[in-house]
């Protein structure tokens, strides 16, 4: 690859069903340009998110075909083939050796898909494996997109429930506030609490990690205490760990008395790469009041409610159960804007002194780099695929660093976005 030209980043139209987001938005292109990176966007890629081609062109991007986009040195997507194995399969033929591809890849759920991507010779990076450490906050797509999901879950519930959220005193009498219960106080859960509180609801929340009580209270909810040992419920990365069936059974027993008096239950408890724990049983749903609503944000991996059906809304004994799997795509303008800032910060972190540098001593690179030089390199994926050990620090034969033309000032010249909530 010639060293006297700029790197190019391609932005294809998303093909995953219902996906309205776009990987980059016009507002971040100046930061890429300062870093010496030109942008080419597939015609119409941003339209569904509210970003027409003209806005990209105004910021210096070129508009081209899908083939043009995949001819770029870097391809950025929301849903790569790994997380879009059906509609995204045709992209495999367009990927090329030494090209950098990054986006959601579902490595823990579709290791075989990552292996197929590796076979193209492209360098594959998974945005959802970004470590939750302080210096990676502005690259954390899970946090930014969960913020959108938590907000939209409450909006959906408010639009579905036959009651209003706030307390109102009117000439026709006093309307009592709705009661909302949020299960799981991660980023989505905390945003759901804050949104429900702003709408006037009385909010309670529970998380298996007792340490988050202070955060729950700070955004306006009462933390539900349960006499249950949860000392080992959190891993070193800050994620909830999978707990045993005895623990879950006791948890459900204690939770039953709470949910039967609640108007809206929003569940967010998910374990990376695992089936979502069942926290709301069919029996518990049967004790809820008619007109109550459950919004299950863990539906993609089975759901926290025993009755949840992914991407469906069902009514059981008068209780509406919603199982959306991609709420950020329903708020595509802001979801795309946040995602794009995450990606630009990630990209410019990887470019040092005019070239991509694969520093395997860097935790960010080490934990997000899935494949390089035709091989899967992430140790836990190699283990899952039965490929044996590998030294990801060693550059596979034929893999070169991508070069970027020097620019004035800092080569990592991306505007620093606001930190994502963690």
Which residues, in sequence order, are bridge partners of residue 180?
Answer: 203, 264
What's the CA gap between 355 and 145, in Å, rounded? 29
Q: Would you call 198 a catalytic residue per the annotation?
A: no
Q: Assign 3-state DSSP to the chain and report helix, strand, coil percentages, each to 5.
A: 35, 20, 45
Active-site residue, selected from the candidate residues 66, 132, 198, 301: 132
Q: Would you call 230 a catalytic residue per the annotation?
A: no
Cite the beta strand spans of 168-221 per DSSP E: 168-170, 173-175, 179-183, 202-206
* Crossing angle (nearest 10°) for helices 332-350 and 141-160: 170
Active-site residue, selected from the candidate residues 33, 143, 145, 215: 143
Q: In a 3-state reduction of DSSP, which class is residue 355? A: strand
Cite the beta strand spans of 55-120 per DSSP E: 62-64, 74-79, 100-104
Q: Would you call 143 a catalytic residue per the annotation?
A: yes
Active-site residue, selected from the candidate residues 140, 207, 263, 296: 140
Q: Would you call 140 a catalytic residue per the annotation?
A: yes
* Crossing angle (nearest 10°) for helices 187-198 and 141-160: 40
**What backbone phi and psi angles, to 5 degrees, belong to 246?**
-60, -40
Q: Would you call 151 a catalytic residue per the annotation?
A: no
What's the CA gap between 245 and 333, in Å, rounded? 40
Q: In a 3-state reduction of DSSP, which class is residue 305? A: strand
Active-site residue, selected from the candidate residues 33, 79, 99, 137: 137
Active-site residue, selected from the candidate residues 43, 66, 71, 239: 239
Q: Which residues does the annotation mark as catalytic?
A: 132, 137, 140, 143, 239
């Amino acid at each position: 690859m010639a060293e006297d030209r700029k790197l190019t980043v391609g932005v294809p139209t998303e093909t995953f069903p219902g996906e309205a987001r776009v990987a980059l938005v016009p507002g971040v292109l100046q930061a890429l340009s300062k870093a010496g990176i030109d942008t080419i966007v597939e015609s119409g890629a941003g339209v569904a998110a509210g970003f027409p081609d003209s806005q990209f062109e105004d910021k210096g991007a070129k508009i081209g075909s899908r083939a043009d986009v995949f001819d770029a040195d870097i391809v950025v997507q929301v849903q790569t083939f790994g997380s879009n194995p059906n509609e995204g399969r045709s992209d495999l033929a367009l990927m090329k050796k030494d090209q950098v591809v990054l986006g959601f890849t579902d490595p823990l759920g579709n290791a075989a898909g990552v292996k197929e991507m590796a076979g193209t010779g492209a360098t594959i990076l998974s945005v959802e494996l970004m470590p939750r450490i302080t210096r990676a906050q502005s690259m954390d797509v899970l946090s930014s997109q969960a913020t959108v999901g938590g907000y939209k879950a409450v909006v959906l519930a408010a639009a579905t429930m036959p009651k209003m959220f706030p307390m109102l005193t009117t000439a026709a009498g006093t309307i009592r506030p709705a009661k909302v219960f949020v299960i799981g106080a991660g980023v989505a859960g905390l945003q759901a609490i804050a949104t429900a509180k702003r709408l006037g609801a009385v909010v309670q929340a529970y998380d298996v990690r007792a340490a988050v009580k202070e955060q729950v209270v700070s955004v306006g909810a009462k933390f539900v205490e349960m006499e249950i040992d949860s000392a080992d419920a959190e891993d070193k990365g800050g994620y909830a760990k999978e707990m045993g069936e005895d623990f879950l059974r006791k948890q459900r027993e204690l939770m039953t008395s709470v949910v039967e008096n609640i108007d809206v239950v929003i569940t967010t408890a998910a374990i990376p790469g695992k089936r979502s724990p069942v926290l709301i049983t069919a029996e518990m749903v049967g004790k809820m009041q008619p007109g109550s609503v459950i919004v299950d944000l863990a539906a993609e991996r089975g759901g926290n409610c025993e009755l949840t059906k992914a991407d469906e809304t069902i009514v059981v004994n008068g209780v509406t159960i919603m199982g959306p799997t991609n709420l950020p795509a329903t708020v595509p303008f802001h979801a795309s804007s946040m995602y794009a800032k995450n990606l630009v910060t990630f990209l410019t972190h990887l470019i040092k002194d005019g070239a991509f540098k694969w520093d395997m001593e860097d935790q960010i690179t080490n934990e997000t780099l899935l494949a390089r030089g035709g091989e899967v390199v992430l140790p836990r994926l190699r283990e899952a695929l039965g490929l044996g050990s590998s030294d990801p620090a060693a550059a596979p034969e034929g893999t070169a660093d991508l070069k970027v033309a020097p620019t004035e000032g800092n080569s990592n010249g991306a505007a620093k976005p606001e930190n994502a909530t963690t």
